Structure 1
Amino acid sequence: MGQAKKVSSALSKLFVYGALKYGQPSNSILASSGNGFAKFWCKATTTQKLPLVIATRYNIPFLLNKPGVGYYVTGEIYEVDDRMLNSLDNLEDCEEIYTREMHDMNIGVGEGTVPCWVYLLQKYPENLLSLRYLSSYENSTTHPYIMRHRRTHKHPAQDDLTYEAQN
């Protein structure tokens, strides 16, 4: 009798802080097996203060790569396969808008840190630093997140970073 082949796919850890979190508008992307494998692992916070802001006319949460500014950001860690990472890279316009980088995340007092992929906005207009910083993102009626399929092509997110809402 032959030996069963063990199929293994290395899983990566991914820290999500915005619309991909459980209960948020884009979490269904992580839940869809058609995009790859994703499983909730634990809640976590960044090990560095970073500015988390809501910007563009689509109310997108952005984590700006500006260490030391803002708050320790709370989010969730998921274990994901390469297929899911590729799906998310496409969703997050990796290299066009975000970059995916490896950062240590706090997983609890006495538990230490774990390295995770995280999507960060590298290039952004300075006016984003004048927006209100958040320590945690929750979709709201005040700033409702606009799902990607409902956004107009007239204003792609990467061209809309300088948009300022009129109050």
Structure 2
Amino acid sequence: MPTYRVFVYGTLKRGEPNAHIMSNPKTGKHKFVGGAVTKEAYPLFVAGQWNIPFMLGEEGKGFRIHGELYDVDEAKLKALDTLEGHPTVYQRTLRPVIPDGKNANDDDAVEEVWMYTLKRYDPRLDETKTKLLDRYYNGVEGRFYMKHEVVKSNDNLI
């Protein structure tokens, strides 16, 4: 059975509001691999009525993002796709990360892993977004994540 390595940077991390989705055996299998940081800088911020962490796929803007790596089975990957609204709201793409404890200058330290980035930026997010972040935690800048229905369009995010 194939496994997929996924990088999570927001509410799916351990101790964060949606960690139960990752850890729920009913939605598939997962294995925590460890921490990692993106090889490239990306914009990460919290915005919208639900205080959702958003990462844009614009390389070279923002900071290198700290998150967690998981190996997941196909069922868990589908559950994550549903949560993230892939491929409509977020897109899942392969991007380079450096696992914790590896030397960033060592080419074989870099791994291509799946991560979710916002597919289309909505300028209305500018009205509520935090400063750019290098890591997410619930409550950053006083912004606590609020549970909501599965996102099906950008209009649900604002």
Letter in 1 for 2:138: N
TM-score normalised to structure 1 length: 0.82
- Number of residue equivalences: 150
Q: Pairwise CA RMSD of aligned residues?
A: 2.1
| Cα drift, residue 131 of structure 1 | 4.4
CA distance in 1 between partners of 2:153 and 2:21 (Å): 19
CA contact 2:122–2:154 (8 Å) conserved in 1: no
Partner secondary structure for residue 101 of structure 1:
strand
CA distance in 2 between partners of 1:45 and 1:135 (Å): 9
CA distance in 1 between partners of 2:143 and 2:90 (Å): 21
**2:145 matches 1:145:** yes
**2:154 matches 1:158:** yes
CA distance in 1 between partners of 2:11 and 2:90 (Å): 14
CA contact 1:51–1:64 (8 Å) conserved in 2: yes
Q: Counterpart of 1:113?
A: 110
Q: Counterpart of 1:5?
A: none
1:110-136 CA distances to partner (integer Å, 9 max, x unpaired)? 371111100011211246577410000
Identity %: 32
Partner secondary structure for residue 103 of structure 1:
strand
1:83-111 CA distances to partner (integer Å, 9 max, x unpaired)? 00001101111122100001111113337
Of the three residues 28, 33, 38, the one matched with 1:46 is: 38
Q: Which has the larger radius of gyration?
A: 1
CA contact 2:42–2:55 (8 Å) conserved in 1: yes
Letter in 2 for 1:109: K
1:141-162 CA distances to partner (integer Å, 9 max, x unpaired)? 711101225x9x9xx762055x
TM-score normalised to structure 2 length: 0.86
Of the three residues 122, 127, 130, the one matched with 1:125 is: 122
Q: Which moved more, 1:112-121 or 1:18-27?
A: 112-121
Of the three residues 91, 96, 103, the one matched with 1:104 is: 96
Partner secondary structure for residue 20 of structure 2:
helix
Gaps of at least 5 residues in structure 1 are 1-8
CA distance in 2 between partners of 1:24 and 1:45 (Å): 18
| Cα drift, residue 73 of structure 1 | 0.2
Partner secondary structure for residue 148 of structure 1:
coil
Q: Counterpart of 2:133?
A: 134
- Off by >3 Å, runs of 4+ in structure 1: 126-131
CA contact 1:56–1:157 (8 Å) conserved in 2: no
Partner secondary structure for residue 82 of structure 2:
helix
Gaps of at least 5 residues in structure 2 are none
